[in-house]
Amino acid sequence: MRTVIGLEVHAQLLTKTKLFCSCSAEYFGASPNARTCPVCLGMPGALPVLNELAVEYALKAALALHCEIPPRSIFARKNYFYPDLPKGYQISQYEEPLAVKGHLDLPTGKRIRIRRLHLEEDTGKLLHRPEGYSLVDLNRAGVPLMEIVSEPDLDSPEEARLYVEELRRILRYLGVCSGDMEEGSLRCDANVSVSVDDQLGTKTEIKNMNSFRAIEEALKFEVARQKAVLQKGEQIEQATLTWNEITEKTELMRSKEEAEDYRYFPEPDLVPLQIEDAWREKMTESLPELPAAKQARWAHDYGLPAYDISVLTDERRIAEYFEEVVKIYNKPKDASNWMMSELLRLRKEAPTSAIKIAPKDFAHILQMVESGQINRNTGKEVIAEAFQTGKTPEAIVQEKGLSQIADEETLLSAIDRVLAENSKAVADYKSGKEAVVGFLQGQVMRATGGKADPKKARELLMRKLTAL
């Protein structure tokens, strides 16, 4: 039995204003219904005006996904009644969408075909109260969404997850969608069927998955359920399901009989959208280097291991940071280790704070460690301080007196003191216990406040000990 999956992803576009009016699209945290106007409240007679930036963002995504962009597309009304949809219809695209026939290559190399990409408006939100009534907040009504529909080319829940991860990475590189699944900025509906022959089986559609894990788990559950039904010789009922996070089961939302008939028809209040060649070319030129291209180039230019590349190119800002660092500190593997172990760790500990350390300062710290001006631990300390304050490494080293001590005279006097204070260890060494060298070295580091150049200190310590 073969698993077949096709995904419909809704991505909220990062425009300042809504798709058809000038209300702020930042509905998160705003007081209910504060970001509304006659257009997005669906008042009779109010007319939509298309947001040009939303079209540009959708075009960028379409081009990044190698779609064909027909010279003309049209908007359509998708009719249904629901309290979060004040007009009684959603403005979407149905026939003649913005873009068609694209593809996305998974990191595994497999190519997934994209059927279509279109623009539509979001609905409002309902807040169901335990007292038995519901509240309506229309701040989200009219926020621009882009829907990206794949062909049924995915053949496992793991692959579906990879697809959404890669799609999200691309949209974030483009800066057109935040990709925050928990906040609902990226939402995914999964269509899944199991086929027993070379025909496509009957599919079910799963809604309401708001994390990568949920997508994978919901699909695993649903595939197993469908296989069990088919194995009993029964048939799959076409249906819309919802994923219950708590029970970790899919539940019936509506069956085929209850499926809605949206009576799509062309939106009479908006003229057809024409995408001229010049506009498309301008958008093509504005595309940044995308993750897959960057990864291939890094493998060639930097010779980094695949793991390092995948970690450091996950986010465009981090990837570009790395590129800046190695322009100055031209040891990619070293720079990669430092970035993964220090910069990314610090950011993980304080995810909301800005990275204040400039790439050139980060590179400079690595140079200071390499030249022995400061030791590795001091390097980490300076990175942490610069991360928070944005001060230059020179300023931090000077302020805190962190320069490494490589001066022989200073080191020798510290070593003499340590040897005098640890006569037992010295005696142990003379009787052949070489392990005490490590202990004595530690004492020298302590005596210098951790600033001794470790290599130099060890060399001098050994010279002293063997001369005893």
Residues of this chain that bind ligand ADP (CB under 6 A) = 4-8, 149-152, 191-193, 200-201, 203
Check: CB of residue 156 under 8 Å from CB of residue 5.
yes
Two tokens at 155?
């053949």
CB of 202 to ligand ADP, least distance (A): 7
Beta bridge partners, 187, equal 10
Q: Closest CB to ligand ADP among 8 and 26?
A: 8
CB of 120 to Zn ion, least distance (A): 16
How is residue 72 annotated by DSSP?
A: E
CB of 164 to ligand ADP, least distance (A): 12
Q: Which residues of 435-460 are buried (b: 16+ CB within 10 A; e: fewer)?
A: ebeeebbebbbebbeebbbbebbbeb
Q: Closest CB to Zn ion among 42 and 107?
A: 42
CB of 391 to Zn ion, least distance (A): 45
Q: Which helix (H) or strand (E) holds 8?
A: strand 2-12
Query: How far is residue 84's CA from residue 329's CA, in Å, rounded to a whole number?
Result: 54
Residue of minimal CB distance from ligand ADP? 6
Contact partner at residue 85 from ligand ADP, Zn ion, none, CB < 5 to 8 Å by partner kind = none
Q: Which helix (H) or strand (E) holds 334?
A: helix 332-338
Query: How far is residue 395's CA from residue 283's CA, in Å, rounded to a whole number?
Result: 43
Q: Closest CB to Zn ion among 21 and 100?
A: 21
Q: Closest CB to ligand ADP among 24 and 195?
A: 195
Based on the number of CB atoms within 10 Å of its own CB, is 234 exposed (0-12), middle (13-18) or buried (19 or more)? exposed
Closest to 265 in 3D by CA, of 64, 88, 460: 88
CB of 30 to Zn ion, least distance (A): 12
How is residue 116 annotated by DSSP?
A: E
Query: How far is residue 394's CA from residue 367's CA, in Å, rounded to a whole number?
Result: 12
Contact partner at residue 6 from ligand ADP, Zn ion, none, CB < 5 to 8 Å by partner kind = ligand ADP
Binding mask 17-56 for Zn ion (x = CB under 5 A): ----x-x-------------x-xx----------------
Contact partner at residue 23 from Zn ion, ligand ADP, none, CB < 5 to 8 Å by partner kind = Zn ion
Q: Closest CB to Zn ion among 21 and 174?
A: 21
Check: CB of residue 436 under 8 Å from CB of residue 429.
yes
Q: Closest CB to Zn ion among 35 and 77?
A: 35
Q: Closest CB to ligand ADP among 150 and 336?
A: 150
Contact partner at residue 144 from Zn ion, ligand ADP, none, CB < 5 to 8 Å by partner kind = none
Contact partner at residue 55 from Zn ion, ligand ADP, none, CB < 5 to 8 Å by partner kind = none
Strand, coil or helix: 421: helix
Write out the residues near Zn ion by the rule CB under 5 A.
21, 23, 37, 39-40
